[in-house]
Structure 1
């Protein structure tokens, strides 16, 4: 339970009590990342449902605002950093590392974040017309299975918080969450698109960035969420 709470502290802005943890606990928290998607999904669905009392656009806006607030824009920040690195480094690994380490955001990052927010707003607006609110929960959960794959498959881009997750990775955790997503796919078939989207993002990171980092995880989660929403709309 302590590691679940730690995962929630890492992945959300929920007000949770401080914990006495060590490096082993921190590394093992990655096994609970998909569970944090349940909390995020429920909050986003609740906010979207509240907005639907006004109209679908309000539902989409409320849902998006809750999505950004509950995650603290953490994943959007990663998306912006990855966009800046890919756009400005031009294949130079030294410059790529410098761009990723720069706390300031560049034009590529601004555009990527703006496009992602617009995409999610429109996708939520269309999605709310076609699906019950509870289906947001498996979408958000499944998107957070990605880090369990990328941590194991990709080399660490640099030493940092994300590189510590490798020692906490366990095959059993990945298989358990993957089996849950597979079962949920019988009710939400579009979830199976994650079997393509997760390795696709990993391949892009390996070829363009060179490995995985916290930014890569965050950007991947954002893109997976949008990709799964698109898949649901296409397969409805």
Structure 2
């Protein structure tokens, strides 16, 4: 339970009690990242249901606001940082590290975040007309299986948040959550596209960035979520 609370504290903005934890507890909290997706997806689904009383655009907007509020825009920040790094570094690893360490956001990051929000809004608008809101719950869960896989598959870009998780994750945890994700694909087969999306992001990070960091995890979650939304909409 302690590690679940740590995962929720890190991945959501839920008001939770503080818990006493050591480094091993923090590292093991990554095992519960997909569970945080249940909270995020549940909040977005409830907001969408409320918004449907006023129409699909309102439903989409409320769902997006709930999505961003529940994550505290944490993953959007990672997306902006990765966009700045990839856009400004031009293959220079030293320059890349400097850009990722810079707390300020550049033009690449601003554009990436704006496009991501617009993409999600439009896809949620289409989703609201075609599918039941509850489908956002397994979608958000599956997107957060990504960090488990990327931690296992990729080298750490630097000593930081992402590198600390390496000691807390094993293949058995990835397999267990993947089995649950597979079960949800029975009702929503398009979610199975995550089996391609998650490895693709790992390949992109390795080839363009050189490894994974907290920013890489956040950006990947955002992009996998949008891609899964698109898959669900297009599969109808």
TM-score by length of 1: 0.99
1:68-217 aligned at under 5 Å gives the runs: 68-217=68-217
8 A Cα contact 2:38 2:138, kept in partner: yes
8 Å Cα contact 2:78/2:219 also seen in 1: yes
> What's the RMSD between the two structures over aligned residues?
0.5
Any gaps of 5 or more consecutive residues in structure 2? none
Q: How many residues align?
A: 236
For 2:44 and 2:133, the matched residues in 1 are separated by 9
Is contact 2:4–2:29 with CA below 8 Å preserved after alignment? Answer: yes
Distance 2:192 2:63 in 1: 23
Q: Return the alpha-carbon distance in structure 1 between the equivalents of residues 51 and 233 of structure 2.
A: 20
Looking at structure 1, the residues matched to 191 and 232 of structure 2 have their Cα atoms a distance apart, in angstroms, of 8
| Matched position secondary structure for 2:130 | coil
User: 1:171: Cα distance to partner?
Assistant: 1.5
Deviating beyond 4 angstroms after TM superposition, the runs of 4 or more aligned structure 1 residues are none
Deviations 1:22-64 (A, max 9, x none): 0000000000000100011111111111111111100000000
The offset of 1:82, in angstroms, is: 0.1
Instruction: Give the distance between the partners of 1:109 and 1:52, measured in 2 at CA.
Output: 32
Structure 1: stretches of 5+ with no match in the other structure: none
Q: CA–CA distance in 1 between the matches of 2:66 and 2:232?
A: 21
Shift of 1:3: 0.4
**1:132-162 residue CA offsets vs partner (Å, 9 max, x unmatched):** 1111100000000000100010000000011
Q: Distance in 2 between matches of 1:192 and 1:30?
A: 22
Residue 218 of structure 2 corresponds to which residue in structure 1? 218
Deviations 1:104-127 (A, max 9, x none): 000000000000000000000000
Q: Give the Å deviation of 1:95.
A: 0.3
